[in-house]
Amino acid sequence: MLSLYLPGDGVLHRMPPGPKILTLLALVLGVSLLPAAWWAACAAAAMCVIAYAVAGLGDGAVGMRQFGRQVFAIRWIAGLTIVGQLIFLGPEPAVANTARVCAAIIIAALLVLTTRVTTLLDTLERALRPLEFVRLDPQRAALLLTVTITTVPVLAGLARQVREAQRARGSSGGLRTFAVPFLVMALKHADELGDALAARGVG
């Protein structure tokens, strides 16, 4: 699900971050408010395809390669969402709701695909500045969000290490034997990252 910045000069790359966030937010809201009907599922999918096609991602396939990657990345979310709703709501609402959720995530991914994290950090800092009067530190809040985004690949790496260690010891791997070492490693990483941020003059 993590999308990293793709260098490029498409429409979204050139758009200033503020208007870009508002545009994408409007699109996400648009797909979220669609009704639970077959045509709405088709409309959500069409909005995604059009958004990726016009974004100018420069992937050599009119944005469809990146679109495919994003769909593949959220396959588990799609699977879990559709199965649960098929049981309780029936096929039409299940497909429509799943399409809306997936479309919202995939459209939101365009923000990080076309915006440098540094730019996002600066924009968030500026956007959060009015909240200083309620004692919210905009620098800290923006940094928190940025570090959350950039820590995803580290956590994925830690999860891989735990799985490899389990396999190396001949274990098939249950939830508990995975979760405990993963949590310990994640918390240790959080401690180290906190120290590294402090050492780099943050906090």
The site for other proteins (CB under 8 A) is made up of 4-5, 7, 116-118, 139, 146-147, 149-150, 153-154, 157, 189, 192-193, 195-202
CB of 145 to other proteins, least distance (A): 13
CB of 153 to other proteins, least distance (A): 5
CA 92, CA 108: separation in Å to the nearest integer?
24
CB of 6 to other proteins, least distance (A): 10
CA 126, CA 117: separation in Å to the nearest integer?
14
Are 141 and 128 spatial neighbours (Cβ–Cβ below 8 Å)? yes
Whose Cβ is closer to other proteins: residue 78's or residue 137's?
137
Whose Cβ is closer to other proteins: residue 3's or residue 97's?
3
Which tokens sit at 12?
């979204």
CB of 202 to other proteins, least distance (A): 8
Whose Cβ is closer to other proteins: residue 18's or residue 194's?
194
CB of 162 to other proteins, least distance (A): 15
Residue recorded with tokens 């969000």:
145
Three-class DSSP category at 62 = coil
User: Terminal CA-to-CA distance of the chain, rounded, Å?
Assistant: 29
Q: Residues near 58 by Cβ (< 8 Å), separated by ≥ 6?
A: 6, 8, 9, 10
Are 161 and 146 spatial neighbours (Cβ–Cβ below 8 Å)? no
Distances (CA, A) of 54 to 13, 16, 174: 11, 16, 44
Whose Cβ is closer to other proteins: residue 148's or residue 172's?
148
Whose Cβ is closer to other proteins: residue 87's or residue 199's?
199
